[in-house]
């Protein structure tokens, strides 16, 4: 940038006015801050603020300087620098299993169980009856036996790990048969062909993208075949001229050839969500009942628990999987077991509304509209803020149920003097950050995914932004 003589002289004068670091640190507010947060972050923030100040002066972006302003900037910079990197945010996007926002939030009771187990000793691998070493998988094994009637269950880090482990244990060095219509990719680079290649299994693709018959599977079976694989196409639908073998046909074919059937269910839907507008999600219990040997699914999608991958099914196959040295590498920690156990206990007790993801799916448009109306009223009370309600749709997300959406009521908000993108950016910088939708140049809030008690936080974030813009 080019400056006139006068402006560079003014700049030089401003530069001379910048106080020394020690002088700033001696001020009461910064001394108090250093006492609270430690001297180091305050000194570092002061240096950073002064450096950026010099930059702004040199480029002519600043025409006056006050020590109070500097002090405020240093306080804000220090506070931001000591904040944890992983923070709680308010999800106002209406995407329930938002992968970037941590998928399913835990039920409070599950979070409390995890916190208790985390901060104390536990019987993680200790048999309380016998007073000797026990199995860490005993806890979840027992649980899924009660819930699904499963012979045996193992839990690993996530569903990708579950599929990898199943394929590696059962099919390394051999072939697995999969329909071309099920060679899926899940966001974040989980691809069936890649996982299968890494597991050491050779993929035998059969059928076509839209149509695969049981006879295609049958024709591909040979002496190298180790398993049949069925994958739920979680995040897309093929419609029109399509065909896919029935689950029971696959089970029968596998049985007749003495092969196991592995099924990747994706979401881990444990109850029929059809009455709530979610169609086409296969149920884990149905697959077990049909006789699938190894069923895998995620813990933090429709199940609504912690990140985990569940492998459940017939004991002989699961015992083999358990003996794979990689199981030890992919196993879950006690916090996950605690949270999963508490979540599944809610299913056993029929208390589905206590699971946040399921409560969000079940929330009616009327319930959301009522909250949205109250929020809009509060926002309208602020000078410079306008808010109105409009119809919209929430989605499940997390690569589940691509065809289904849930009718909702959105709050569309504007703040005078701010573009939609700038408003969304300020919401993200709020404490806690509020993540909104921006569509057609509008900031939209969907309260379906805003947890109980968070409406207030959204309102406060707008209050602060409106004040800054006044």
Give the closest residue to 294 by CA, choosing from 135, 159, 446, 123. 159
Shortest reach from residue 289's CB to ligand PLP, in Å: 20
Report which residue's Cβ sits closest to ligand PLP. Answer: 266
The pairing of strands 225-231 and 261-266 is: parallel
Q: What angle is formed at CA 155 by the lines to CA 150 and CA 161, rounded to 5 degrees?
A: 120
- How many Å apart are CA 404 and CA 155, to the nearest integer? 29
Closer to ligand PLP by Cβ: residue 94 or 399: 399
Shortest reach from residue 310's CB to ligand PLP, in Å: 9
Give the closest residue to 80 by CA, choosing from 48, 50, 51. 48
CA 174 to chain centre: 34
Could you give phi then psi for residue 107, rounded to 5 degrees?
-65, 145
Shortest reach from residue 392's CB to ligand PLP, in Å: 25
Shortest reach from residue 164's CB to ligand PLP, in Å: 9
Closer to ligand PLP by Cβ: residue 11 or 299: 299
Closer to ligand PLP by Cβ: residue 196 or 394: 196
Shortest reach from residue 268's CB to ligand PLP, in Å: 8
Contacts of 412 (CB under 8 A, 6+ apart): 387, 388, 389, 390, 442, 443, 444, 445
Closer to ligand PLP by Cβ: residue 159 or 287: 159
Which H/E stretch holds residue 428?
Answer: helix 420-429
Query: Before 432, cis peptide (omega within 30)?
Result: yes
Closer to ligand PLP by Cβ: residue 267 or 343: 267
Closer to ligand PLP by Cβ: residue 234 or 394: 234
Shortest reach from residue 144's CB to ligand PLP, in Å: 16
Q: Are 444 and 434 in contact (CB under 8 A)?
A: no
Closer to ligand PLP by Cβ: residue 309 or 313: 309
Give the closest residue to 92 by CA, choosing from 391, 409, 458, 366. 458
Distances (CA, A) of 320 to 169, 287, 295, 314, 326: 7, 20, 14, 10, 11
Edge-first strand listing for the sheet containing 437-439: 385-397, 400-415, 442-446, 437-439
Give the closest residue to 176 by CA, choosing from 154, 153, 195. 195
Give the closest residue to 196 by CA, choosing from 262, 130, 114. 262
Shortest reach from residue 125's CB to ligand PLP, in Å: 24
Closer to ligand PLP by Cβ: residue 158 or 408: 158
The residue ranges that bind ligand PLP (CB under 6 A) are 158-160, 186, 190, 231-232, 234, 264, 266-267, 298, 309, 399
Distances (CA, A) of 98 to 91, 93, 103, 435: 8, 9, 5, 11
Closer to ligand PLP by Cβ: residue 77 or 161: 161
Give the closest residue to 92 by CA, choosing from 420, 411, 431, 465. 411
Shortest reach from residue 187's CB to ligand PLP, in Å: 8
Shortest reach from residue 236's CB to ligand PLP, in Å: 10
Shortest reach from residue 300's CB to ligand PLP, in Å: 7
Closer to ligand PLP by Cβ: residue 225 or 400: 400
- How many Å apart are CA 229 and CA 262, to the nearest integer? 5
Q: Are 164 and 191 in contact (CB under 8 A)?
A: no
């Amino acid at each position: 940038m080019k400056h006139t003589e006068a402006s560079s002289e003014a700049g030089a004068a401003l530069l001379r006015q910048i106080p020394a670091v020690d002088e700033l640190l001696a001020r009461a507010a910064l001394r108090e801050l250093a006492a609270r947060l430690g001297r180091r972050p305050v000194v570092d923030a002061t240096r950073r603020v002064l450096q950026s100040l010099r930059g702004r002066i040199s480029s002519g972006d600043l025409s006056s300087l006050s020590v109070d302003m500097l002090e405020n900037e240093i306080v804000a910079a220090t506070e931001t620098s000591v904040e944890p990197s992983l923070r709680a945010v308010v999800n106002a996007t209406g995407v329930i299993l938002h992968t970037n926002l941590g998928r399913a939030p835990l039920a409070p009771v599950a979070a409390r169980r995890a916190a208790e187990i985390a901060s104390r000793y536990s019987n993680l691998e200790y048999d309380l009856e016998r007073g000797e070493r026990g199995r860490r998988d005993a806890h979840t094994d027992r649980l899924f036996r009660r819930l699904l009637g499963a012979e045996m269950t193992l839990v690993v880090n996530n569903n990708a790990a579950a599929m990898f482990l199943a394929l590696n244990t059962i099919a390394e060095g051999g072939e697995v048969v999969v329909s071309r219509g099920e060679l899926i990719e899940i966001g974040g680079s989980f691809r069936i062909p890649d996982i299968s290649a890494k597991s050491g299994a050779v993929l035998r693709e059969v059928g076509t993208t839209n149509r695969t018959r049981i006879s295609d599977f049958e024709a591909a079976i040979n002496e190298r075949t180790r398993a049949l694989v069925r994958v739920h196409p979680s995040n897309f639908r093929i419609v029109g001229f399509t065909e896919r073998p029935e689950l029971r046909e696959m089970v029968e074919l596998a049985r007749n050839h003495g092969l196991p059937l592995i099924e990747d269910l994706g979401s881990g839907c444990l109850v029929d969500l059809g009455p709530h507008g979610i169609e086409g999600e296969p149920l884990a219990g149905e697959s077990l009942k049909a006789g699938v040997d190894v069923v895998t699914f995620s813990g933090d999608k429709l199940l609504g628990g912690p990140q985990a991958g569940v492998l459940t099914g017939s004991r002989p196959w699961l015992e083999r999987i358990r003996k794979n040295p990689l199981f030890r590498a992919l196993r879950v920690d006690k916090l996950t077991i605690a949270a999963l156990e508490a979540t599944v206990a809610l299913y056993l007790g029929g208390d589905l509304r206590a699971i946040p993801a399921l409560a969000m799916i079940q929330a009616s448009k009327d319930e959301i509209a009522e909250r949205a109306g109250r929020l809009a009223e509060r926002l309208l009370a602020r000078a410079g803020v306008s808010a109105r309600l409009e119809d919209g749709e929430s989605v499940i997300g997390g690569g589940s149920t691509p065809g289904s959406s849930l009718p909702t009521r959105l709050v569309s908000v504007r703040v005078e003097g701010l573009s939609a993108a700038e408003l969304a950016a300020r919401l993200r910088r709020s404490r806690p950050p509020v993540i909104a939708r921006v569509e057609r140049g509008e900031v939209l809030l969907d309260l379906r995914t805003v947890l109980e008690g968070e409406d207030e936080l959204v309102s406060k974030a707008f209050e602060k932004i409106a004040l800054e813009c006044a």
